Amino acid sequence: MNYLQITHEDVCNGDGLRVVLWLSGCSHHCYNCQNPQTWNPDSGIPFDKSAKQEIFDELSKDYISGLTLTGGDPLYENNLDEVLKLVKEIRISFPEKTIWLYTGFEWNQIMNMQVMQPIFSCKDLESKIQNILKRQEIIKMCDVLVDGEYIDEQKDLTLKFRGSKNQRVIDVKKSLAQNKVVLYCD
């Protein structure tokens, strides 16, 4: 897994002061994306122990509300294993901190296991199902999920925490408890 930047004390990508990890790799390639430099999974630098330590050092500060994972797409297939390990460790080390995640995938695609593209072999199907299961596990450890691809025709600069009207800011815990999407904010 590669990343482009770790932002300290960010106020734009979630509630409060946040640490933001900008990951490389995205399969959505939204028209007029604000971060096309993050699409290539090989761009940036490898996420290593020092990058993780930088995040943990920032999260240990009382005034930091939590971590935001964005990019690129944290749920891009090349990121899944490392993101899963990272959110597990953060949940253990910093249970009071919130985790926000931005993805071009939609809640229903992941939580209802919708396989988006035709499958041509059992191996492809097995791989897609494993990726969906990892995405589910990651999302279940998050507090807020901002879902959906950016759609330029639905751009709205007045929206909180997102760029286009189709995107949703989802309260993960309430959505899981009620078995339906519950918005964190509208």
Query: Shortest CA distance to 91 belongs to which of 145, 20, 143?
Result: 143
For residue 75, give the 3-state DSSP assignment: coil
- Any idea which residue has 């096309």 for tokens? 36
pLDDT tens, position by position, 122-150: 677 788 889 999 999 999 999 999 999 99
Domain residue spans of the chain: 2-185
Contacts by residues 50-56 (CB-CB < 8 Å, ≥ 24 positions apart): 51/3, 51/6, 52/86, 52/89, 54/6, 55/6, 55/19, 55/21, 55/86, 55/90, 56/90, 56/93, 56/94
Q: Which residues of the chain have pLDDT under 70?
A: 113-122
Q: What is the pLDDT of residues 74-95, one digit of tens each?
A: 999 999 999 999 999 999 999 9
What is the C-alpha separation between 169 and 185, in angstroms, rounded?
6
Tell me, what amino acid is at 48?
D
